[in-house]
Chain A
């Protein structure tokens, strides 16, 4: 498990222990350390229901027939197996290229995540632990670019991609996602705290080259933060719509573009549209079920919106 997760847990346990000790001493404990009352759980349960309900609702509509959807806000209260019929129709439909979109989304997500993690860790290591001329100003520049909405540069980006013949091609989405200022900033922050100079020194004294030192000392130390950064980037790329909707076509789409085609092609057949939306959302939900704990721990360690 990542040490970030471990930290979060130990912090929690520490607080719990402190509370127990205080109780044992018979002192009045502060509200923050007292066991939460049922009102807190009730409110959180409401928040949880609000989080989950839209997805459940999608599942419900996806497993209803179009007629009952058209006449009822909630056609039925439990989803049934007919949702698989919708899934099947979505993946076999000629109009929306589901498999191609899935392939593209996986490709973009994996390549961009790997690239962002590698380059951010390299740059973060450099900014955090190496001394070189111009280090300060360059780091300030990286942080400043985080506040600049790069989305607004799409017109020249579109012209550029069209000029080199990448319109409609998946690399037009991959290339702009290869690095993020957030990633560099994030890894710099993490490594400056988490990687002791002694380790780097030891490797250098042992005669390791700079890149070898990075590979065998910095990279393992960066792993907890890097895994969170990778997940975060993957989610971002997977759900990205604005730029792909401009530069890609329906012949070579990503999953969010499939959702758009569903709305355009099957707008009348709500059950199919909703089934498709659920199907497209499913992979990320499954991923989240496995790695959500790490993502949460990563954000808890001080993540920021990229």
Chain B
């Protein structure tokens, strides 16, 4: 990216052309300031991250090839034995199945529900901020608290949910006894906390969609549902990818909710709802105290997360681009609309109906999405400067 170099004042630039010995001390200091400052400013992040983020992740790989005990410390080098041990543990596989089951039961309804709520919030509402704050309330409740509250709502006996089921004539569900039921209960907790948050992220993207596209769709005779699938979904594609990926990373690491679902926190008597991170915790800090094996679990999970992340990046991209085919708005019309939007100081999140193959990388997704707002913000700042 081409950058201006606004930070160099005129005298410093002149100074750099002269032989250094004729430069005054304060000027030399000034030049050093310009050169070193950027690195100084970014260094706190990189230093701390290197120590508490990067080093542990890499060192996990080292620990995983040693026989390492919580109490005894580092033992013999065992190569890949820890990985073999872990892969031979039925419990590891069971925890993996549980994790995927809970992850799917949470992510899929969560993303769908969040888009629906966002679409509702995207209407022309009275007291819009009130409704937005309302759906965000669960976000400030700690997952641990959510888990215990829902643990009570989902109690097998005298639980609120089972009472409701009884009222409509259904048999009570053994939320702590049946494997699938426990997964549903835990997924509900995750959904409770995150759906509103994701809805606001989707809403932000939806508000960047040019309203004219909807009008054009209406003129073409599209109903609300058709508008939603033919205009809204393709337009917020980048955001959908982003949310799916972040909820994957989070979803495959479910711990808090499971840990507090019953008093023991190890996934029930048959480990029916033990997730992989809880399994990792149990291997490391439970009875075994086997850090080496737990580190192997961590790395296996890390690899799985990366693979799943890539898969759902590809899948999400395909799903959401297929929605862009056969647009209700003609290309010429669209281009005209974009021109209008640009003139009004707004830039649409994703060039509509382009059907471009190379979608943005996950990290860049939010940047494409938020372009409309900051331009407004900077305009606003300009206004302040003028005053």
Find the B residue at minimum CB distance from A184: B45
Q: Is the CB of B367 within 8 A of A189?
A: yes
Chain B, 27-60, CB within 8 A of any chain A CB = 30, 33-35, 37-39, 41-42, 44-46, 48-49, 51-57, 59-60
Q: Is the CB of B57 within 8 A of A150?
A: yes
Q: Is the CB of A200 within 8 A of B380?
A: no
Residues of A within 8 A of B121 (CB): 44
Residues of B within 8 A of A57 (CB): 149, 152-153, 160
In whole angstroms, how far apart are the Cα atoms of A288 and B285 in the complex? 35
Residue picked from A145, A151, A205, A260, most chain B C-beta under 10 Å: A151
Residues of B within 8 A of A214 (CB): 41
Q: Is the CB of A159 within 8 A of B249?
A: no
In whole angstroms, how far apart are the Cα atoms of A111 and B173 in the complex? 45
Given A33-B211, A36-B124, A196-B378, A210 and B63 contact (CB-CB distance below 8 Å): no
Q: Is B171 interfacial (CB-CB < 8 Å)?
A: no
Residues of A within 8 A of B125 (CB): 36, 40-41, 44
Find the B residue at minimum CB distance from A160: B56
Q: Is the CB of B369 within 8 A of A155?
A: no
Q: Is A245 interfacial (CB-CB < 8 Å)?
A: yes
One of B56, B192, B249, B285 near A147 (C-beta < 8 A): B249
Q: Is B142 interfacial (CB-CB < 8 Å)?
A: yes
One of A12, A151, A159, A241 near B128 (C-beta < 8 A): A12
Q: Is the CB of A122 within 8 A of B56?
A: no
In whole angstroms, how far apart are the Cα atoms of A73 and B57 in the complex? 45
Q: Is the CB of A155 within 8 A of B41?
A: no
B92-100, B198-206, B330-338, B350-358 - interface stretch: B198-206
Residues of A within 8 A of B46 (CB): 138
Q: Is the CB of B362 within 8 A of A147?
A: yes
Dominant SS at the B interface? helix
Chain B, 113-169, CB within 8 A of any chain A CB = 117, 120-126, 128-129, 131-146, 148-150, 152-153, 155, 158-160, 162-163
Q: Is the CB of B63 within 8 A of A159?
A: yes
Q: Is B207 interfacial (CB-CB < 8 Å)?
A: yes
**In angstroms, how far is the closest chain B Cβ from the Cβ of A236?**
10
Residues of B within 8 A of A179 (CB): 44-45, 48-49
Q: Give the interface residue-count category, chain B.
A: 35 or more
Q: Is the CB of B363 within 8 A of A130?
A: no
One of A74, A126, A295 near B160 (C-beta < 8 A): A74
Residues of A within 8 A of B374 (CB): 189-190, 193-194, 301-302
Given A145-B49, A153-B60, A300-B200, A33 and B246 contact (CB-CB distance below 8 Å): no
Q: Is the CB of A55 within 8 A of B158?
A: no
**In angstroms, how far is the closest chain A Cβ from the Cβ of B29?**
9
Chain A, 1-23, CB within 8 A of any chain B CB = 3-4, 6-8, 10-12, 15-16, 18-19
Q: Is the CB of A273 within 8 A of B148?
A: yes
Given A155-B291, A190-B374, A304-B201, A131 and B5 contact (CB-CB distance below 8 Å): yes
Q: Is B279 interfacial (CB-CB < 8 Å)?
A: no
Find the B residue at minimum CB distance from A205: B9
Residues of A within 8 A of B375 (CB): 193
User: What are 5 inter-chain pairs, A to B, with CB distance below 8 A?
Assistant: A31-B227, A201-B7, A292-B133, A300-B204, A305-B197
A contact set with B: CB distance below 8 Å: 3-4, 6-8, 10-12, 15-16, 18-19, 28-36, 40-41, 43-44, 47-48, 50-52, 54-55, 57-58, 61, 69-74, 119-120, 122-123, 125-127, 129-132, 135-136, 138, 140, 142-160, 175-176, 178-179, 181, 184-185, 189-190, 193-201, 204-205, 207, 209-211, 213-214, 221, 224, 235, 238-239, 241-242, 245-246, 255-256, 259-260, 262-264, 267, 270, 273-274, 277, 280-281, 284-285, 287-288, 292-293, 295-297, 299-305
